[in-house]
Structure 1
Amino acid sequence: MAFVSLFALYQMIQIQKSYEDIVQNDMNTMIEAQELESNIIRELSYIQKLGLTKDERLIDQIEKLKTENHKKLNELVTKLRTEADQREFKKLQIIYTNYNEIEKLMIEAAQQDDIREFVSLMDKKMAETLADKMMNNVEIIKQGIFEQQQIDNDKVNHIRQLVLITTLITILLAVAIAIVFARMISTPVKLLDKHASLMADGDLTQQIPNIKNNDEIGHLVRTFEYLQEQLKQMVAKIQVHAEQVASTSVELAASTEQTTQSTEQISLTMQEMAANSDTQVVNVQETAEFIDQFQQGIVHITENANDASTGAAKTSTLANNGMNMLRETIKQMNGIGKTVDQSVNVVTRLNERSQKINEIVDLITNIADQTNLLALNAAIEAARAGEHGRGFAVVADEVRKLAEQSGNAAKNIAGMIIEIKEDTTKVVQSMTKGNDEVKEGILAVEKVNIAFEEILTSIQHVALTSDSTLNAAKAMEQYVTKVISAIEEMKKGIEGNASFTQTVAAASEEQNASMEEVRSSIESLSYMAEELRELINQFKIA
Structure 2
Amino acid sequence: MGEFNLKKFFSNMFSQVISWNTRTNKQKSIKELVSGKLQKRNWLIRNTNFNIKEFDSKITIATKLYTGFFVTILFFMSALGFAFAKTQQINHINDIIQDQSEYTMEMQRIQYHVHQQLASIKEWTLTGSEKAFNNAQEAKKASQQLEQQLLLETNDQAKKDKLMQIIKADKLISSIWEIKLGPMVRDGHYQVAYHSMVTEDQPIFEQLLGKTDKFVEINKKMNQELQRKAQEESQQAVLVVAAFGFVATILGVACSLLVVNRFINRPLKEVMTGARRIAKGDLTSQIEVGTKDEMGMLANVFNEMVDQLNQIISQLVKYGADIGDESEKLLRGSKSVSNNINMINEIFMELASSAKQEAESAGEALYAAVKAEHTATKGNEAVNLASAKMTEINEQSKLTVELVDNLKEQTNRIKQMLDVVNGIAKQTNLLSLNASIEAARAGEYGRGFAVVANEVRQLADDSSKSVKEITEVIYNIQINTDKVMEVVHSGAKQATEGVVAIKNTGKAFDEITESVKINANMVKQISEATEQVSDNIDQVAASTQHVTSNIDEVASTSQLLDGIAEKLQRTVNNFKV
- Give 2:364's aligned residue: 290
Q: Is the 8 A contact 1:204 1:540 kept in 2?
A: yes
For residue 176 of structure 1, the aligned residue among 254, 263, 266 is: 254
Query: Residues 205 and 150 of structure 1: is their aligned pair in 2 closer, same or farther, counting only changes over 3 Å?
Result: same
Q: Is the 8 A contact 1:4 1:167 kept in 2?
A: yes
Query: Residues 118 and 301 of structure 1: is their aligned pair in 2 closer, same or farther, counting only changes over 3 Å?
Result: farther
Deviation by residue 1:381-406 (Cα, 9 ceiling, x = unmatched): xxxxxxxxxxxxxxxxxxxxxxxxxx
Q: Is the 8 A contact 1:29 1:76 kept in 2?
A: no
Paired AA for residue 294 in structure 1: A
Within-5 A mapping of 1:305-344: 306=380
- Give 1:157's aligned residue: 235
CA distance in 2, matches of 1:19, 1:309: 81
Q: Is the 8 A contact 2:321 2:565 kept in 1?
A: no
For residue 26 of structure 1, the aligned residue among 97, 120, 125 is: 97
Q: Does 1:261 align with 2:296?
A: no
CA distance in 2, matches of 1:11, 1:312: 82
- Give 2:575's aligned residue: 540
For residue 285 of structure 2, the aligned residue among 207, 216, 228 is: 207
Which range moves more in the overlay, 24-33 or 227-236?
24-33
Q: Is the 8 A contact 2:270 2:289 kept in 1?
A: no
Within-5 A mapping of 1:238-387: 238-258=316-336, 260-261=338-339, 286=360, 289-303=363-377, 306=380
Report the Cα offset of residue 3 of structure 1. 3.0
RMSD: 5.4
Q: Does 1:193 align with 2:276?
A: no
Paired AA for residue 82 in structure 2: Q
Report the Cα offset of residue 519 of structure 1. 3.9
- Give 1:407's aligned residue: none
Q: Is the 8 A contact 2:281 2:576 kept in 1?
A: yes
CA distance in 2, matches of 1:167, 1:283: 81
Q: Is the 8 A contact 1:96 1:130 kept in 2?
A: no
Which range moves more in the overlay, 40-49 or 179-188?
40-49
Deviation by residue 1:257-297 (Cα, 9 ceiling, x = unmatched): 236536756986x799x79x977x97787556434423323
Give the secondary-structure state (helix, strand or coil) at the position aligned to 1:8.
helix
For residue 79 of structure 2, the aligned residue among 8, 19, 27 is: 8
Report the Cα offset of residue 188 of structure 1. 2.2
Report the Cα offset of residue 189 of structure 1. 1.1
Paired AA for residue 130 in structure 2: T
Unaligned ranges ≥5, structure 1: 79-85, 318-466, 489-504
CA distance in 2, matches of 1:215, 1:63: 84
CA distance in 2, matches of 1:511, 1:48: 115
TM-score, with length taken from structure 2: 0.48
Q: Does 1:103 align with 2:174?
A: yes
- Give 2:309's aligned residue: 231
Deviation by residue 1:131-162 (Cα, 9 ceiling, x = unmatched): 12212321232233223422442343244334
Paired AA for residue 197 in structure 1: R
Paired AA for residue 276 in structure 2: S
Q: Does 1:36 align with 2:89?
A: no
Report the Cα offset of residue 193 of structure 1. 1.2
Paired AA for residue 303 in structure 1: T
Report the Cα offset of residue 130 of structure 1. 0.9
TM-score, with length taken from structure 1: 0.50
CA distance in 1, matches of 2:231, 2:215: 24
CA distance in 2, matches of 1:524, 1:57: 123
Report the Cα offset of residue 521 of structure 1. 8.6
Deviation by residue 1:34-66 (Cα, 9 ceiling, x = unmatched): 222213431553476475427679757744541
Q: Is the 8 A contact 2:113 2:142 kept in 1?
A: no
CA distance in 2, matches of 1:316, 1:36: 85
Unaligned ranges ≥5, structure 2: 1-71, 392-504, 527-536
Query: Residues 254 and 49 of structure 1: is their aligned pair in 2 closer, same or farther, counting only changes over 3 Å?
Result: same
Within-5 A mapping of 1:54-93: 59=137, 62-63=140-141, 65-73=143-151, 75-76=153-154, 78=156, 87=158, 90-93=161-164
CA distance in 2, matches of 1:28, 1:533: 99
Report the Cα offset of residue 6 of structure 1. 4.1
Report the Cα offset of residue 166 of structure 1. 4.2
Give the secondary-structure state (helix, strand or coil) at the position aligned to 1:210.
coil
CA distance in 2, matches of 1:193, 1:212: 15
Q: Which has the higher contact order (CA 8 A, sep 6+)?
A: 1
- Give 1:53's aligned residue: 130
Q: Is the 8 A contact 1:256 1:515 kept in 2?
A: no
Deviation by residue 1:175-206 (Cα, 9 ceiling, x = unmatched): 3343333332212211211222343x361424
Paired AA for residue 37 in structure 1: Q
Paired AA for residue 272 in structure 2: D
Query: Residues 531 and 312 of structure 1: is their aligned pair in 2 closer, same or farther, counting only changes over 3 Å?
Result: farther
Query: Residues 19 and 113 of structure 1: is their aligned pair in 2 closer, same or farther, counting only changes over 3 Å?
Result: same
Deviation by residue 1:469-494 (Cα, 9 ceiling, x = unmatched): x99xx89x99xx9xx99xx9xxxxxx
Deviation by residue 1:104-138 (Cα, 9 ceiling, x = unmatched): 46445688786589865783332221112212321
Query: Residues 282 and 520 of structure 1: is their aligned pair in 2 closer, same or farther, counting only changes over 3 Å?
Result: closer
Paired AA for residue 182 in structure 1: V
Q: Does 1:141 align with 2:141?
A: no
Q: Is the 8 A contact 1:41 1:131 kept in 2?
A: no
Report the Cα offset of residue 26 of structure 1. 1.4
CA distance in 2, matches of 1:266, 1:218: 59
